[in-house]
């Protein structure tokens, strides 16, 4: 029997603890940018459907002593608590202006983060279905050298077995901005200095401490936190690109943007005539919700000139393809695979060509060559870039094409119409290029308002959807006068259970039974 070539989807997401260092250089503007970015980010996370990308989070402030504002717990269905914690974070900055942080406060904060993770490790496993690691992020306005030095001193005193990484995020002072290497992975804006990475390689924290330098800007903070939404698993490569002569390049797929269909307001981001797409997305909290997807295999069929592709036949969700970083592959093979990928990108760029590839069907042992295919073959367009990455998008095939008749008008438009349109277009602002980071839709504000509506807003949403939920242990009401068909009532001896009220009243952030 042939073994399935599959990989887990978002099954290695770490638990995250955020430590905010209120040192003397941490001003009010930095605090406002940070809290605004966190509120926007978690409004997105709590509304995002699909697998849980940021399952567990905790927040600790560091002033004269470490204070836990949001204990390590699940993120979904916890937005009111997160908002309250962010408000406390603002108050901590105001009170810390007159305080001076004592030596060892960062050490105490990291120790507290590790202690919380150790206490909740079993609960995290029961909720996520897999063993998590802890990733600690320290946001500070101090120099990275001083923070890294404190972390290295602490490493000999703590158990770091379950610690995946410590990120030291150094926010640059606006008066003395120091921009290092510009990275296009986190943000793609040429008008703002972005993020630069480094690493510490001494002491017991070799390869564990990562230094991130960034400017004080809400968009830059948001882009940094959005990196938490990427799939953190490197257990398996995502895709095999098969060239002629059985030359196979193993690749990983990275999201270029979030799929709007996973958000409640998905219809606002598309022109969709089908009514079945109008169903709103309601994220659910499920235990052990592990998703398994196949490792795709694409066969390269053709080379096409880059300027010969009509935009009307390219559709769907774009992804970025890069050489795999799977840790199970031998180091020499990994290096050779990266060289092959880079050579392919360079040659395609030089020839100004793109690749057309299709999915390879995996036949069972009992199938014959003459058998009809059990599933259709999807076709994809691979567009190379100078950054050693490939944009992959699905492209239409014959069965999906709709008939169209775009005839060219025989006569030119009248001069009056040309003058009217020309006068109107002159009033439209001309941009040299489109920068999506500078174009906002108001999505964050809408998501925050949706989550802050309380239980009444959720009830109205369910009523509009025609959803009737039966609480555990409840029975269908019978009798005249006091009950109505289709509604559920709890027995007299039991208290009616609802999840929203449960998480608000119960102190245990890790319920074992819902």
Query: pLDDT tens across 194-236, in order?
Result: 455 555 545 555 678 899 999 999 989 998 999 999 888 888 8
Question: What CATH number matches the domain at 13-229, 3.40.50.410, 3.40.50.720, 3.40.640.10, 3.40.50.300?
Answer: 3.40.50.410
Tokens 């974070």 correspond to 89
Least confident range of 35-44, 57-66, 251-260: 251-260
Report the chain's mean pLDDT, rounded to a whole number.
76
Query: Euclidean distance between the first and final Cα of the chain, in Å?
Result: 39
Instruction: Say yes or no to pLDDT of 475 above 70.
Output: no
Task: Count the neighbouring beta carbons within 10 Å of the beta carbon of residue 274.
Answer: 6
Burial readout 101-119 (b: 16 or more C-beta within 10 A, e: otherwise): beeebbbebbebbbebbee
Contacts 24+ apart (CB under 8 A), 439-447: 441/268, 441/269, 443/44, 443/263, 443/265, 444/39, 444/40, 444/43, 444/44, 446/265, 447/43, 447/44, 447/46, 447/47, 447/263, 447/264, 447/265
CB 249, CB 348: distance < 8 Å: no
d(C-alpha 222, C-alpha 224), whole Å: 5
Could you tell me the maximum CA-CA distance found in the chain, to the nearest angstrom? Answer: 83
d(C-alpha 14, C-alpha 231), whole Å: 10
pLDDT of residue 284: 55
Query: Which residue would you say has higher pLDDT here, 189 or 2?
Result: 2
CB 240, CB 297: distance < 8 Å: yes
d(C-alpha 152, C-alpha 66), whole Å: 19
pLDDT of residue 267: 67
pLDDT of residue 278: 47
d(C-alpha 54, C-alpha 15), whole Å: 8
pLDDT of residue 81: 93
pLDDT of residue 335: 94
Tens digits of per-residue pLDDT, 139-185?
Answer: 998 888 888 888 888 877 777 778 888 999 999 865 544 433 443 44
DSSP-assigned letter for residue 202: S
Instruction: Say yes or no to pLDDT of 371 above 60.
Output: no
Element (H, E) at 136: strand 134-140
Please work out, in degrees rounded to the nearest 5, the angle formed at the alpha carbon of residue 42 by the alpha carbons of 41 and 47. Answer: 105
Q: What is the mean pLDDT of residues 394-418?
A: 82
Q: What is the mean pLDDT of residues 404-426?
A: 86
Map residue 391 onto helix, strand or coil.
strand
Instruction: Say yes or no to pLDDT of 444 above 60.
Output: yes
d(C-alpha 282, C-alpha 266), whole Å: 12
In the structure, what pLDDT confidence band is assigned to residue 317 with cuts at 50, 70 and 90? confident
Map residue 72 onto helix, strand or coil.
strand
| Domain coordinates in residue numbering, the chain | 13-229, 239-364+372-400, 465-514
Q: What is the mean pLDDT of residues 326-344?
A: 92
Instruction: Say yes or no to pLDDT of 64 above 50.
Output: yes
CB 104, CB 112: distance < 8 Å: no
In the structure, what pLDDT confidence band is assigned to residue 350 with cuts at 50, 70 and 90? very high
Is the Cα dihedral 48, 54, 56, 57 positive or negative? negative
Least confident range of 85-94, 112-121, 348-357: 85-94
pLDDT of residue 485: 40
- The percentage of the chain sitting over the pLDDT mark of 70, rounded to a whole number, equals 70
Backbone torsions φ then ψ of 321, nearest 5 degrees? -110, 130
* Chain centroid to CA 88: 25
107 dihedral zone (left: phi>0; alpha: psi -120 to 50; beta): alpha
Q: What is the mean pLDDT of residues 327-346?
A: 92
State the alpha helices, DSSP H only, in 277-351: 331-351
Q: Per CATH, the architecture of 239-364+372-400 is what?
A: Beta Barrel (2.40)
Task: Count the neighbouring beta carbons within 10 Å of the beta carbon of residue 154.
Answer: 21
């Amino acid at each position: 029997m042939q073994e399935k070539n599959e990989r887990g989807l978002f099954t290695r997401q770490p638990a995250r603890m955020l430590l905010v260092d209120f040192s003397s250089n941490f001003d009010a503007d930095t605090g406002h940018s940070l809290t605004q970015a966190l509120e926007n980010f978690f409004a997105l996370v709590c509304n995002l459907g699909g697998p849980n990308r940021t399952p567990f989070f905790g927040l600790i402030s560091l002033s004269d002593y470490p204070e836990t504002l949001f204990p390590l717990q699940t993120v979904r269905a916890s937005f009111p608590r997160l908002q309250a914690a962010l408000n406390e974070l603002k108050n901590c900055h105001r009170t810390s202006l007159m305080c001076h942080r004592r030596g060892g406060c960062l050490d105490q904060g990291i120790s507290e983060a590790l202690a919380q993770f150790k206490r909740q490790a079993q609960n995290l496993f029961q909720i996520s279905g897999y063993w998590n690691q802890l990733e600690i992020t320290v946001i500070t306005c101090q120099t990275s050298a001083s923070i890294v030095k404190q972390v290295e001193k602490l490493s000999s005193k703590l158990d770091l077995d379950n610690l995946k990484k410590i990120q030291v995020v150094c926010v640059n002072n606006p008066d003395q901005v120091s921009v290092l290497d510009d990275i296009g992975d986190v943000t793609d804006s040429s008008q703002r200095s972005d993020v630069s990475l480094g690493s510490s390689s001494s002491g017991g924290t070799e390869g564990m401490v990562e230094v991130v330098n960034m400017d004080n800007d809400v968009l830059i903070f948001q882009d940094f936190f959005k990196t938490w939404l990427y799939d953190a698993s490197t257990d398996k490569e995502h895709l095999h690109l098969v060239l002629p002569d059985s030359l196979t390049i193993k690749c990983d797929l990275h999201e270029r943007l979030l799929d709007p269909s996973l958000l409640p307001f998905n219809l606002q981001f598309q022109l969709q005539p089908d009514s079945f797409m109008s169903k709103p997305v309601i994220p659910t909290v499920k235990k052990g919700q592990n998703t398994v997807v196949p490792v795709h295999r694409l066969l390269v069929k053709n080379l096409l000139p880059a300027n010969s592709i009509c935009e009307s036949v390219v559709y769907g969700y774009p992804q970025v393809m890069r050489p795999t970083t799977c840790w199970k592959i031998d180091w020499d093979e990994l290096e050779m695979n990266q060289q092959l990928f880079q050579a392919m990108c360079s040659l395609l760029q030089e020839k100004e060509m793109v690749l057309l590839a299709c999915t390879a069907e995996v036949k069972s042992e009992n199938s014959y060559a003459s058998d009809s295919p059990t599933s259709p073959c999807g076709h994809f367009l691979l567009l190379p870039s100078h950054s050693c990455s490939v944009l992959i998008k699905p492209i239409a095939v014959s069965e999906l094409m709709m008939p169209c008749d775009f005839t060219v008008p025989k006569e030119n438009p009248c001069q009056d119409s040309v003058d009217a349109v020309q006068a109107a277009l002159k009033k439209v602002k001309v941009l040299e290029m489109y920068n999506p980071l500078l174009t906002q839709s108001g999505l964050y504000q809408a998501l925050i308002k949706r989550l802050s509506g309380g239980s009444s807003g959720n009830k109205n949403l369910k009523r509009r959807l025609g959803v009737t939920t039966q609480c555990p242990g409840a029975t269908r009401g019978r009798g005249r006068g006091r009950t109505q068909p289709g509604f559920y009532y709890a027995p007299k001896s039991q208290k009616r259970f609802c999840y929203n009220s449960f998480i608000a009243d119960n102190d245990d952030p890790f319920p074992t039974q819902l």
